[in-house]
A and B are shown apart, each in its own frame.
Chain A
Amino acid sequence: MTFEKDINIDATELRLGLPGTSEESERQASTTLRISNKRALPSVAAEKQCDQETAPPTKAQVVGWPPIRSYRKNNLQTKKTEVETSGMYVKVSMDGAPYLRKVDLKIYKGYPEVLKALEDMFKFKVGKYSKREGYNGSEFVPTYEDKDGDWMLVGDVPWEMFVNSCKRLRIMKGSEARGLGCVV
């Protein structure tokens, strides 16, 4: 496993704009400038000053340095990507609908928001939720498949736990929905 930051995928990217220009290189150049202003190690600072004139690409990582085991690196890196980029997309199906949709659970702060989004997406209305009876007043019932492979009623567990254990969503309709103890 090597950690080269300068793998040039950008060269093949389709983009509007003149060839040779990129946001990336501009950002990098300004980063290099910023670095030399902060408190840097004396030996490194001298090096950086020379670099400033030529604005080179960011340093490629040396293989196996610093000496950290891969499971530690992965642990830290997963934290970063979760914050920076990837969402948490799960498939949503509705009984009777011809195709599935996908929602990013990370962008919602709680159940009301995600239920509203599903209602908008599939043009239906959920019933009223109670802990004792589940969803009351609609033939549509939102359910999800959790990590254990079991189908659960949306809303039973705390939001964070739901987000971390939900693998896919399914809006059940009609008689099947009744099986979960919902009163229509």
Chain B
Amino acid sequence: MQKKVACSFPDEVLEHVFSFIQSDKDRNAVSMVCKSWYEIERWCRRKIFIGNCYAVSPRMVIRRFPKVRSIELKGKPHFADFNLVPDGWGGYVLPWIAEMAGAYPWLEEIRLKRMVVTDECLELIAKSFKNFKVLVLFSCEGFSTDGLAAIAASCMNLRELDLRDSDVDDLGGHWLSHFPETYTSLVSLNSSCLGSDEVSLSALERLVGRCTNLRTLRLNRAVPLDKIANILGRAPQLVDFGTGTYGADLQSDVFSSLAGAFSSCKELRSLSGFWDVVPAYLPAIYPVCSRLTSLNLSYVTIQSPDLVKLLRHCPSLQRLLVLDYIEDSGLEALSSSCKELQELRVFPSDPFGEEPNVSLTEQGLVSVCLACPKLQSVLYFCRRMSNVALVTIAQNCPNLTRFRLCIIEPRTADFLTLEPLDVGFGAIVEHCKDLRRLSLSGLLTDRVFEYIGRYAKKLEMLSVAFAGESDLGLHHVLSGCESLRKLEIRDCPFGDKALLANAAKLETMRSLWMSSCAVSFGACKLLGQKMPRLNVEVIDESGPPDSRPDSCPVDKLYIYRSVAGPRFDMPPFVWTMEEDSALQLNTIGNPIGSEWEHNMKGIQGLRAQMPFVLYLAELSNTSQW
């Protein structure tokens, strides 16, 4: 009797305690304490995050967590954003929706990133989940406004509809009128990505007018400037507003009603949109600028002096997205006006021009880093950089958590010394101890990877392009970065050795992407065969990789851990390296006596003599490096 009391509470009590534990990591830890905690926890988990939709199957998720109310799924690899992943690769959400339609009738929230969503999926969501509240489609594609109409018509409790950055087939603005006149629950609407010229303004105005809880409204480009005042007038409680077009002939009556509308929005903290902006209309937002914490001017093609005039009114700004028209002088001004700045993103106005079209250099970034003590997140496109600038940034901003630098021309050296930028980035990882995300660019040798492996212990995501000299670079990263989850590499001379020697590391990560590198098909096969819990996928649009010698490098490689085994929805240009295919190294066509052949034969020979894992350990300890 006493023993029983000592080791168990009633399940309801434990469930209540667990309900205070929200983070996935903690929930996972709780579930591993003992079998009964595992059972209780799985029945009361309401929210699931799946970083790679192919890492697990819908059935497995449903089997373990029968009462989920909120799900987040991610599909394609990040480099899909830059057209490196061919169309048709995958990331289909339909199988998930189909399974959840039956298993989770009370599902309330679906958040998807880089997935293919069809109108059929949207219709299924609309009809299957009676209490559906939140739909976020971040960088998704495959659906049209007809699917949105289905959601609007059926989801009486919908609170949030966010289509950010998705590629939608916009058939015109009539989908908005599918929200019934009795529907009033909308809290957040982001339709800024819709591309049609048509928008049903009257439906929009009525919707905004009757949804008194609306906090976020991001309009698309089709909504003209002279309609903003009317819309804002119906929603003075807005916190986050994205304009449509912000350009028109200057008319004083339009201007004054616009300024009036903005000034009655006392809660407004975030502004975006501003397509086709006409500088004369910018002062209309001055009434709200002092309270603004977030400003997205990344579509604003006006010159630095006008940008500076605006920014001087925004002392509370924490987040700024802007084009490089701001120039070094504008960033200098920013750094003196906006002391609360935490995040800065500077995009290139002319990324494919061979010559700089604006006076934006490393100096702009340095001046912000010197003067804004709270800066944590940087995305910066520029055309030149120096080690001394990077060291200055590192020393003055030790709190950086995200640092993404894109020097537009690949392999650009330090413009002052003509040396590689190894030391500069080394300083970043050494001083910024909480760095979670890093993107490299410029001229870089294996040394930068040595620094990263040594110092970047909290680094979770690393993006590398046109860098490094040998497998040693990749080996440093894979063997040193303890927290690494995502690694994406393009156009680097990394081959088989580092990959095979660190195969076990790959099971501790979400995914690895390598394109235009030097990994051979044979090594991919070996990896796939030896690591059953990794899916090793070769992407090659020029034909089957086994029609070429095994020593040929593969075009693109995507490796991710999975408990679901190889996927079944691959297009013809993706091959998965299965574990049960007999490893027959095709030596025909490979250069005789080549290093590759030597390595592979060595591996085959040793297979018979020692466990594979030990052989890999051997490889990394040899003086081959």
Contact = CB atoms under 8 A, between A and B. Distances in A.
- Do these two chains really belong together in a complex? yes
Contacts, number: 93
A41 B248 contact: no
Given A35-B355, A70-B83, A64 B406 contact: no
Nearest to B384: A41
Interface stretch (B119-127, B407-415, B592-600, B612-620): B407-415
Contacts of A71: 165, 167, 193
Interface stretch (A90-98, A136-144, A158-166): A158-166
B181 interface: no
A160 B249 contact: yes
B392 to A, nearest CB: 20
Interface in A36-70: 38, 40-44, 58-59, 61-70
B251 A69 contact: no
Interface stretch (A7-15, A72-80, A122-130, A173-181): A72-80
B350 A35 contact: no
Given A63-B84, A66-B381, A148-B201, A161 B490 contact: no
Chain A interface residue count: which class? Answer: 35 or more
Contacts of A42: 413, 415, 418
A18 interface: no
A66 B348 contact: yes
A43 B248 contact: no
Main secondary structure of the interface of B (DSSP, over half): loop
A1 interface: yes
A161 B84 contact: no
Given A147-B222, A160-B248, A64 B348 contact: no
A111 interface: no
Contact of B415 (A35, A41, A61, A65): A41
Nearest to A67: B82
A147 B412 contact: no
B197 A147 contact: yes
Max chain A Cβ within 10 angstroms of own Cβ: one of B301, B354, B410: B354
A147 B198 contact: yes
B465 interface: yes
A64 B82 contact: yes
Contacts of B222: 147
A108 interface: no
14 contacts: A58-B354, A62-B491, A63-B82, A63-B84, A65-B82, A66-B351, A66-B381, A66-B406, A67-B439, A68-B381, A73-B351, A147-B198, A160-B249, A161-B248
Sorted from nearest, which 7 A-B pairs have the closest CB atoms?
A: A64-B82, A160-B249, A158-B249, A64-B84, A67-B82, A43-B413, A1-B83
Given A65-B465, A160-B247, A161-B224, 4 more contacts: A66-B406, A70-B83, A71-B193, A165-B224
